[in-house]
């Protein structure tokens, strides 16, 4: 018979085993050790399954009216959001992981199989770094914590040249103009003809409106960046006050959007809200996985298309450097400009000495000083100028 999964708030699942035809016996399984392992299981197989997505999946199961494994598969697909090209692969991994629900008989243990899956889902070993003074502060282990920021502010005049230097794009909306534009506005011209009784004193033109491109700010909040984290948040807060289309994300071992938190009118309230929103302050560093998570969400990935991406990080990746390179390559294909600011560039003898940063150079447009908010604003403004800085991309 068809498998049914009535799920209560205690995540007990009752179903009819498909391996026993015409069976009326109902088997209850407690899946507290099985469902949490699905996210790491996907991540070990190359999917961008974040801990936040795994937690959302667990919270969603008791709230959904799940009647069969197909409903559970659909819920997992919505929460984890695999790429369209990998949806069939995602479904195959789902079937393989949850196959034990239909293969096991009453009385069999689920925990033994689950422990094997958990071991298989462990992340790859850390990528070794070249010699660097900050390597002791960077790590790949997830460390959750909170931060409290003292009251401070940033002069908005520092950011006005940056906003003025932002590239523009042509909107799909037309605006009317009396000067010669891109096309004649026939409708307005005919109205003028009727109003002036057949005479057209001057033709009406129209052109496409130009608007500034969207800005994506990615702020590293790991332990090796904690000295300047407040300055970077103030930079993002001030930029949002002057430009209406700015999205702000923080990352350490997980990706968190703080755009809504920084929309507060008071800078103190905005920093306090951001402090409560971000769970992994001063934690480890997993840049590649966080960038992959950004591109895995369709809504976030659409915002990167044609945008100016500002990454503020020292680049001390302790995860898989290949994952960071592949994610940056995908981001470079979507974004118009990628600007990487690092506090390490304040040293006149700075050079990318980590494997990750050396491999990133072909995919970023500018690499420079981001040691504080004012230097960061100056560097980004220079990088956005047409002749300000030569692109690093090959």
Query: How is 263-277 classified by DSSP, letter by letter?
Result: G-SSHHHHHHHHHHH
Q: How far is CA 8 from CA 4, 71, 80, 81, 201, in A?
A: 13, 15, 22, 24, 74
Q: What pLDDT is attached to residue 61? A: 78
**Alpha carbon distance 387, 32 (integer Å):** 58
pTM exceeding 0.75: no
The phi and psi torsions of 50 (rounded to 5 degrees) equal -85, 160
Q: What pLDDT is attached to residue 376? A: 93
Find the helix or strand (DSSP H, E) in which 367 lies: strand 366-369
Q: What pLDDT is attached to residue 19? A: 39
Q: What pLDDT is attached to residue 312? A: 95
Q: What pLDDT is attached to residue 242? A: 92
> What is the per-residue pLDDT across 207-248, written as a single tens digit (0 to 9) for each?
788 888 999 999 999 888 888 899 999 999 999 999 989 999
Q: How far is CA 114 from CA 91, 99, 210, 277, 315, in A?
A: 19, 12, 55, 32, 35
Tell me the average confidence (pLDDT) per consecutive run of 10 residues in the chain, 394 residues long.
Answer: 40 40 38 72 79 79 74 84 83 82 47 36 39 45 58 79 88 74 75 76 78 93 88 93 93 91 90 89 86 89 94 86 90 94 90 84 92 92 74 51
**Alpha carbon distance 344, 370 (integer Å):** 8
Query: How is residue 258 written in tokens?
Result: 């703080």
């Amino acid at each position: 018979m068809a498998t049914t999964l009535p799920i209560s708030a205690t995540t007990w699942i009752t179903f009819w085993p498909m391996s026993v035809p015409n069976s009326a016996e109902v088997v209850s399984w407690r899946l507290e050790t099985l469902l949490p392992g699905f996210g790491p299981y996907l991540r070990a197989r190359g999917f961008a399954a974040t801990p936040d997505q795994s937690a959302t999946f667990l919270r969603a199961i008791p709230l959904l009216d799940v009647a069969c494994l197909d409903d559970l598969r659909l819920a997992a697909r919505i929460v984890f959001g695999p790429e369209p090209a990998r949806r069939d692969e995602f479904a195959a991994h789902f079937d393989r992981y949850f196959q034990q629900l239909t293969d096991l008989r009453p009385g069999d243990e689920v925990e033994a199989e689950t422990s094997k899956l958990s071991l298989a889902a462990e992340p790859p070993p850390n990528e070794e770094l070249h010699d660097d003074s900050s390597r002791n502060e960077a790590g790949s282990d997830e460390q959750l914590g909170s931060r409290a920021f003292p009251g401070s502010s940033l002069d908005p005049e520092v950011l006005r040249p940056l906003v003025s230097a932002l590239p523009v794009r042509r909107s799909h909306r037309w605006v009317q103009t009396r000067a010669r534009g891109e096309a004649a506005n026939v409708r307005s011209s005919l109205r003028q003809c009727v109003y002036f009784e057949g005479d057209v004193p001057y033709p009406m033109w129209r052109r496409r409106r130009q608007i500034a491109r969207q800005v994506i700010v990615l702020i590293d909040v790991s332990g090796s960046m904690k000295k300047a984290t407040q300055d970077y948040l103030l930079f993002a807060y001030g930029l949002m006050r002057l430009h209406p289309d700015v999205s702000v994300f923080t990352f350490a071992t997980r990706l968190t959007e703080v755009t809504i938190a920084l929309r507060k009118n008071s800078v103190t309230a905005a920093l306090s809200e951001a402090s409560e929103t971000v769970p992994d302050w001063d934690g480890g560093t997993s840049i590649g996985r966080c960038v992959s998570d950004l591109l895995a969400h369709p809504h976030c990935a659409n915002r990167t298309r044609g945008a100016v991406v500002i990454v503020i990080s020292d680049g001390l990746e302790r995860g898989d450097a290949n994952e960071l390179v592949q994610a940056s390559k995908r981001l470079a294909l979507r974004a118009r400009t990628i600007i990487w600011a690092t506090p390490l560039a304040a040293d006149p003898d700075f050079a990318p000495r980590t494997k990750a940063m050396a491999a990133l150079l072909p995919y970023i447009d500018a690499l420079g000083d981001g040691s504080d908010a004012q230097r960061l604003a100056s560097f980004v403004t220079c990088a956005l100028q047409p002749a300000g800085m030569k692109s690093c991309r090959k």
